[in-house]
């Protein structure tokens, strides 16, 4: 069974069951967009993530993980700043025995000699078995995947953040964190999830919102000033899939109803003028003074890095889940690589 149903190029379905997604089996191939994930695949990835992290706890288990993919090499092509996503992918590779190469500064690659983006990607694919990429512009991972489908040596492309558009692997680790946080309460189904901050330009919030169609009875609350409201494409998607959402500009009016509040940073790097100047940090934040209004069993999440919207004093609150969320990221990325290379059957019980 092919659990993910569509191939996404620039947000459009290119074809069902195409080589890009599954290569003829239930294997995941490119990871480009959250819309390619359906519930069975998400459940599968979450269970695999937990299984893998259990394995890694013992020396024997960790050694068995190392033997899964020692014949594979990965390229980390991160031309936009990254700490967590880069380190978690790098370490995820190493946990599986995958060797890594990296380009983080485009001025050190032949692109400065005028080599085209496509030729650079094609060159990486000559040496490695998977390309993990983060780019300043949207659509580059999808463009790379489309290129892979035209050439002889096609390798999977993983989108590790595409401009202000999407960040699918972050959304997967966020789902895993939500599911685990609500484990004793029936999981994410039926929960009210608030996304707060610069939702217009925040790719993590955009990607997470896309995944919500896979969960039953979820209600979304978008908490942002009007100028930073969630874009129409995401809202349209939620409407199409019957996911109820509201938009509020006053956090205090809803904070007590949320099962999870996902706080995000002001994305100043996408400013073209002075649009970030008017953002009211004092309003769209979680600090010690907001904590009493939150449900006693709510979870506080943040993709990190944080700015003034999340006070460090919150770290000590039992509802603060963001450091765990960060750690979950590496294990979800281990699971993704295991799935992409189709080796989960080789895991000892």
Least Å distance, CB 304 to ligand NCD, is 5
Distance CA 270, CA 228 (A): 12
Distance CA 269, CA 59 (A): 42
Pick from 22, 254, 303, 335 the residue near ligand NCD by CB under 6 A: 303
Pick from 7, 230, 304, 330 the residue near ligand NCD by CB under 6 A: 304
Q: Which is nearer to ligand NCD, 58 or 268 (CB)?
A: 268
Of 196-225, binders to ligand NCD (CB under 6 A) are 203-204
Instruction: Work out whether 167 is an interface residue with ligand NCD (CB under 6 A).
Output: yes
Q: Which is nearer to ligand NCD, 115 or 280 (CB)?
A: 280
Least Å distance, CB 168 to ligand NCD, is 11
Active site residue 84: yes
Q: How many residues bind ligand NCD (CB under 6 A)?
A: 12
**Catalytic hit among 30, 72, 134, 213:** 134
DSSP 229: P
**Residue 117: exposed, middle, or buried by beta-carbon count in 10 A (0-12, 13-18, 19+)?**
middle
Active site residue 57: no
Instruction: Work out whether 168 is an interface residue with ligand NCD (CB under 6 A).
Output: no
∠ Cα 303 56 187 (to 5°) = 50
Active site residue 136: no
Instruction: Work out whether 170 is an interface residue with ligand NCD (CB under 6 A).
Output: yes
Least Å distance, CB 100 to ligand NCD, is 18
Of 107-166, binders to ligand NCD (CB under 6 A) are 161
Instruction: Work out whether 283 is an interface residue with ligand NCD (CB under 6 A).
Output: no
Residue 195 · residue 221 · CB < 8 Å:
yes
Question: Distance of CA 242 to CAs 195, 213, 285, Å?
Answer: 18, 8, 29
Which two three-digit tokens encode residue 174? 């966020």
Question: Which range of residues in 10-18, 35-43, 68-76, 299-307 is near ligand NCD by CB under 6 A?
Answer: 299-307
Pick from 19, 51, 84, 136 the residue near ligand NCD by CB under 6 A: 84
* Residue that has been written with the tokens 């919150």 in this structure: 314
Each residue of 286-316: b (16+ CB within 10 Å) or e? beeebbeebeeebbbbbbbebbebbeeebee
Of 258-277, binders to ligand NCD (CB under 6 A) are 264-265
Least Å distance, CB 23 to ligand NCD, is 28
Residue 265 · residue 309 · CB < 8 Å:
yes
Which two three-digit tokens encode residue 327? 């750690």
The pair phi, psi for residue 21, each rounded to 5°, is -90, -45
Active site residue 216: no
Active site residue 85: yes
The DSSP secondary structure of 241-253, one letter per residue, reads: TT--EEEES-GGG
Each residue of 190-206: b (16+ CB within 10 Å) or e? ebbbbbbbbbbbbbbbb
Interaction site with ligand NCD (CB under 6 A): 84-85, 161, 167, 170, 203-204, 264-265, 303-305
Task: Give me the active site residues, please.
Answer: 84-85, 113, 134, 167
């Amino acid at each position: 069974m092919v659990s993910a149903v569509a191939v996404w190029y620039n947000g459009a379905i290119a074809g069902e069951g195409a080589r890009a997604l599954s290569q003829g089996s239930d294997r995941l191939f490119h990871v480009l967009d959250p819309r390619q994930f359906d519930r069975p695949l998400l459940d599968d990835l979450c269970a695999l993530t937990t299984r893998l992290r259990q394995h890694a706890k013992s020396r024997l288990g960790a050694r068995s993980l190392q033997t899964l993919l020692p014949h594979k090499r990965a390229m980390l092509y991160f031309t936009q700043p990254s700490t967590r996503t880069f380190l978690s992918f790098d370490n995820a590779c190493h946990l599986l025995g995958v060797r890594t190469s990296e380009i983080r500064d485009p001025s050190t690659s032949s692109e400065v000699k005028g080599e085209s983006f496509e030729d650079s990607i094609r060159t990486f694919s000559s040496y490695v078995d998977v390309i993990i990429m983060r780019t300043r512009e949207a659509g580059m991972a999808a463009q790379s995947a489309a290129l892979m489908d035209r050439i002889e040596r096609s390798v999977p492309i993983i989108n590790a953040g595409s401009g202000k558009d999407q960040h699918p692997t972050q959304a997967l680790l966020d789902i895993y964190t939500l599911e685990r946080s609500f484990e004793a309460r029936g999981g994410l189904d039926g929960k009210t999830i608030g996304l707060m901050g610069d939702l217009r330009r925040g790719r993590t919030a955009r990607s997470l919102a896309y995944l919500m169609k896979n969960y039953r009875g979820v209600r979304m609350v978008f908490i942002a000033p009007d100028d930073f409201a969630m874009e129409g494409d995401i809202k349209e998607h939620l409407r199409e899939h019957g996911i109820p959402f509201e938009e509020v500009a006053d956090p205090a009016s809803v904070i007590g109803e949320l099962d999870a509040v996902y706080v995000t940073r002001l994305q100043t790097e996408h400013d073209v003028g002075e649009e970030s100047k008017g953002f009211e940090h004092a309003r769209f934040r979680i600090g010690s003074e907001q904590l009493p209004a939150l449900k006693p069993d709510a979870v506080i999440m943040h993709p990190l890095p944080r700015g003034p919207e999340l006070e460090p004093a919150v770290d000590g609150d039992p509802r603060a889940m963001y450091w765990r969320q960060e750690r979950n990221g590496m294990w979800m990325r281990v699971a993704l690589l295991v799935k992409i290379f189709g080796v989960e059957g080789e895991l000892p019980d």
